[in-house]
Chains A and B, each alone.
Chain A
C-alpha cells in the first residue's frame, strides 16, 4: 500500500513538471498550429537563468525567479517573431515549421552549452522530509506540486474567463474568422508564446531545485511534453495535464519494478501505442467539416 502511494506521489511530482511543459505545447499548437519542440530549450534556459542568478550571483530567490521568467518569455517570443512569423509570411506549412523548431532546439542547446558548460548544475537546496502513511514527501516536493497546480489553474482560468483568453481560443478555432472580427491574431500568437514560455520557465526552475540541470535535457523534455499532449489530445490544455499525469505515474511504476533505465522507454511505448490506436488522444476534438 505504501509503495503504491509513494509511486503515486512521485508520479504526480514528475507530472507537475511535465504538465507545465505539455500544457504550453498543446496551447501553442492550438493557437499557432506549430508543434514548438524548441519549447524544451526554453525550459532549460529558464532553469539555467534561475541557477545563474540565484546560485552564481547570489540574488534573492524572488528576483532570480522573475529573472528566469523574463529570460524564457523573451526567448520564446523571439523564436516566434524572428523565425515562425517570418515563415508564416512566406506561407510555410507543417514540415517547414518542424525543421525550424528542431533547428531552434539544437541552436538553443548549443547556446546553453557554450554559456554554462556540459557539467550538470545542482542547487543542493535544503529541505525537510515529512512522513505520513509510510510515504515520504519533502517540503520542496510539496511546493513543486502546489506551484504547478496553481500556475496551471491560473492559466486555465485566464483562457476560460478573460476576454483575451476567449480571443485566444477563438483564434485557435478559426484564425481567418477571428481576423474578420477584428482580433489581432499576430498579437494573440505573441502572447501565447509569452505565456507558455513563462510556464516553461517555471518548469525549468522546479527541475533545477528538485533534480539537476543538464544542457542536453531540452530534447527529452520536449519529447515528454509532446507525448503528454498527444495522449491528452493535441490542442487540449486539460488533456495535456491528464497526459502528463499518465506519463509521470507510468514512468514511476516502470522505474520501481524495472529500474530507472526503462523510464524513457516507457514514455515512448505509451506514445507509440496512442499514435497507433488512438491518434486523436483522450480529449482530442473531432472537428466538424
Chain B
C-alpha cells in the first residue's frame, strides 16, 4: 500500500470538514476522489500534503506515519501536489517555473536531466521555454503546473481538479497526459468535479459527502447512476 488514510479528521478552526475519512491508494493506481462542493475533497488533499493540519487519524505513506512532516519533506518522500487553479508563477518564465519545481534538488545535473524529460513529455512547453508563464493559455498553464510537480520525480502525484476552467478538448489533452504518466509508473490521486472524465480515466474511486466517504469501489460500480445519486443526495 502506497498511501493509507485512517479515520482522518481535519478542519478550520471550529469547523470540522473531514469527519473521519479512510482511503487507500495502491502503487500504480489512478484513484478518483469525487463529491459535491464542500464535501471536503480539497481539505483531504491539503491534509495529505501538510497544508492543513489534521486533528485526528493517521496518514501512512508506505506504512509509515507521515505525522506532521513539513511540506518540503513530503516532496523528498516522493509525494507531488498540483494545487487547484493552474497555479503557475505568472511572472516567471516557463523554464524558471520548472526550475522552482526542482528547488529541492541539490545537483544541477539532476535538475537539467529532469527538466529535459519534462519537456520531452510536454512538448508545448518546449517551444515556450522563455515565455512568461502568465502569458500561456489555460491548458498550457495546467501542463506547466503538472510538469513542475514532476521535477521531483514523484511516486504519487496528487492533483486538485486539473480540469477546472478548461475547455473540453483541452481537458482531454490534460487527462491523456496524466494517463501516459500513470503508464510510466506514477500513481495518481485526482480530485475531480467532472465525474464523466474522472471515471473514464480512473481505476477506482471514492465519493465524499459532507466530510465522510459515502461510497468507494471500482469505476464500473461507481458509474451506476443510482449509487451516484445516493451519494450526492444523502
Contacts and interface: CB of A to CB of B under 8 A. Distances in A.
A287 B92 CA distance: 13
Interface residues of B, number: 23
A207 to B, nearest CB: 32
A180 B49 contact: yes
A170 interface: yes
Interface stretch (A145-153, A181-189, A226-234): A181-189
Interface string A139-173: 00000000000000000000000010011011011
Contact of B75 (A163, A166, A182, A184): A182
A124 interface: no
A288 interface: yes
A238 to B, nearest CB: 12
A176 B83 contact: yes
Given A167-B100, A170-B100, A180 B81 contact: yes
Given A182-B75, A184-B72, A170 B90 contact: no
A137 interface: no
A287 B104 CA distance: 27
Contacts of B49: 180
A173 B91 contact: yes
A73 B92 CA distance: 27
A127 interface: no
A179 B90 contact: no
Given A166-B96, A176-B83, A177-B83, A182 B89 contact: no
B34 to A, nearest CB: 23
B89 A177 contact: yes
Given A181-B101, A183-B100, A285 B91 contact: yes
Contact of A167 (B51, B76, B103, B148): B103
Interface string A252-289: 00000000000000000000000000000000010110
Contact of B134 (A163, A179, A182, A288): A288
A70 interface: no
B51 A163 contact: no
Given A166-B100, A288-B134, A180 B92 contact: no
Contacts of B75: 181-182
Contact of B91 (A167, A169, A180, A182): A169
B124 interface: no
B89 A173 contact: yes
A288 B96 contact: no
Given A181-B75, A288-B134, A174 B100 contact: no
Interface in B87-118: 87, 89-92, 96-97, 99-101, 103-104
Which of B51, B71, B83, B148 has the most chain A CB within a 10 Å cutoff? B71
A166 B92 contact: yes
Contacts of A174: 87, 89
Nearest to A30: B91
Contacts of A180: 49, 51, 71, 81, 83
A46 to B, nearest CB: 30
Contacts of A163: 99, 103
Interface string B114-147: 0000000000000000000010000000000000
A181 B148 contact: yes
Contacts of B81: 180
A172 B101 CA distance: 16
A136 interface: no
A166 B91 CA distance: 10
Contacts of B83: 176-177, 180
A178 interface: yes
B71 A169 contact: no
A181 B91 contact: no
Interface in B41-59: 49, 51
A159 to B, nearest CB: 11
A181 B90 contact: no
Contacts of A169: 89, 91-92, 96
3 closest Cβ pairs, A-B complex: A182-B72, A173-B89, A182-B104
20 contacts: A163-B99, A166-B100, A167-B100, A169-B92, A170-B89, A170-B97, A170-B100, A173-B89, A174-B89, A176-B83, A180-B51, A180-B83, A181-B100, A181-B103, A181-B104, A181-B148, A182-B71, A182-B104, A183-B103, A288-B90
Interface of A: 163, 166-167, 169-170, 172-174, 176-184, 285, 287-288
Given A180-B83, A285-B91, 13 more contacts: A166-B99, A169-B89, A169-B91, A174-B89, A177-B83, A178-B100, A179-B51, A179-B72, A180-B71, A181-B101, A183-B72, A183-B100, A184-B72
Interface of B: 49, 51, 71-72, 75-76, 81, 83, 87, 89-92, 96-97, 99-101, 103-104, 134, 148, 152
